[in-house]
Amino acid sequence: MKQTPFSEPPSEAISPDSSSRSLNSPRRTIRVGRTLRTLAVALASSAALGASALACDGAGSRAPAFVVSVLVESDPGSPVTGATVSSRGAALATTGDEGRVRLELGGSEGELVSLNVNCPDGYHAPAEPITFSLLRLTGGASAPEYRARCAPTSRSVVVAVRAEHGPDLPVTYMGREVARTDGSGAAHVLLDLKPGTSFRLTLDTSESDALRPRSPSETFSVPDRNGIQVFEREFQVSRKKNRVRRRKKRPAGPRRL
């Protein structure tokens, strides 16, 4: 069998000029231009997404607020309704029936914050603001609570009167009858007065001449809290001695007719 000798196909010689023409051909230029434009669009999109994320972090989703609670009371356990909590002249919240408000404050950790409490009518506002530093809570800790006091402008003073042997006696305040003792000598007086002042009560015995001492009085101080005070007196009853008229003895013996 006759074999045909193997021969390689003729290879094309690539000259430098032909290579240059291939790279600079219009088709290759179009492909490169499209690739560059696609890359530019991708980079621009990535930059836009990054800028959008930064904008959201900086403005859209602000850092978590600092949560605090403020409790306003007149006395321990007596909440004040209608007290306004403000900062830098701007009202933030008003207390309800529980006397408490929950605030979400912005700022930097460690920043010093001052809150003012404006009390409703009938109360004195605190002399000093509530001042504290903003602290970030960790580990599920509860929000810190700060207390403020709205002191009442007046206090209800109850005086229990006990007048032994003194039934039906007028109890007077500034010359005016404010109560009267019952058959056992007991009475109660209720006055609304300014804290820190004093007042005087009198048991008027002008209608009972037999009682001693005569119209006793007592002075009381108005405390900075509601309470009960006692006005107690024991009277002595002086009884008039009945005078026995003695008849003159008639002379014994004969009478002159």
Give the confidence band of 63 by pLDDT, cuts at 50, 70, 90.
low
Count Cα atoms within 13 angstroms, Cβ side, for 165: 13
Tokens at 213, concatenated: 């001492």
Cβ pair 187, 220 in contact under 8 A: no
Q: What's residue 108's pLDDT? A: 94
Tokens at 119, concatenated: 């009390």
pLDDT tens track for 80-91: 999 999 999 999
Topology of the domain covering 155-237: Immunoglobulin-like (2.60.40)
Question: In this structure, is the dihedral angle defined by the CA atoms of residues 42, 44, 47 and 53, taken in order, positive or negative?
Answer: negative
**Cα 79 from Cα 193, distance rounded (Å):** 21
pLDDT tens track for 142-192: 999 999 999 999 999 999 999 999 999 999 999 999 999 999 999 999 999
34 versus 49: the higher-pLDDT residue is 34
User: Out of 1.10.287.370, 2.60.40.1120, 3.40.47.10, 3.65.10.10, which CATH number does the structure's domain 66-152 have?
Assistant: 2.60.40.1120
Asked if the domains at 66-152 and 155-237 fall in one CATH topology, the answer is yes
**Cα 211 from Cα 233, distance rounded (Å):** 11
Cβ pair 123, 153 in contact under 8 A: yes
**Can you point out the beta strands (E) in 39-195?**
66-75, 78-79, 84-87, 90-94, 100-105, 112-118, 123-124, 130-133, 145-149, 151-152, 155-164, 170-173, 176-180, 186-193
pLDDT tens track for 64-85: 789 999 999 999 999 999 999 9
The SS3 of residue 134 is coil
Domain locations in the chain? 66-152, 155-237
Place of tokens 């002086």: 238
In terms of Cβ atoms closer than 10 Å to its own Cβ (0-12, 13-18, 19+), residue 191 is: middle
Whole-model pTM: value is: 0.63
Cβ pair 99, 79 in contact under 8 A: yes
pLDDT tens track for 117-135: 999 999 999 999 999 999 9
**Cα 33 from Cα 39, distance rounded (Å):** 10
The mean-pLDDT minimum among 44-58, 89-103, 213-227 falls in: 44-58
Q: What's residue 238's pLDDT? A: 86
Element (H, E) at 45: helix 26-55
The mean-pLDDT minimum among 51-65, 200-214, 235-249 falls in: 51-65
Q: How many CB atoms lie within 10 A of CB 117?
A: 24
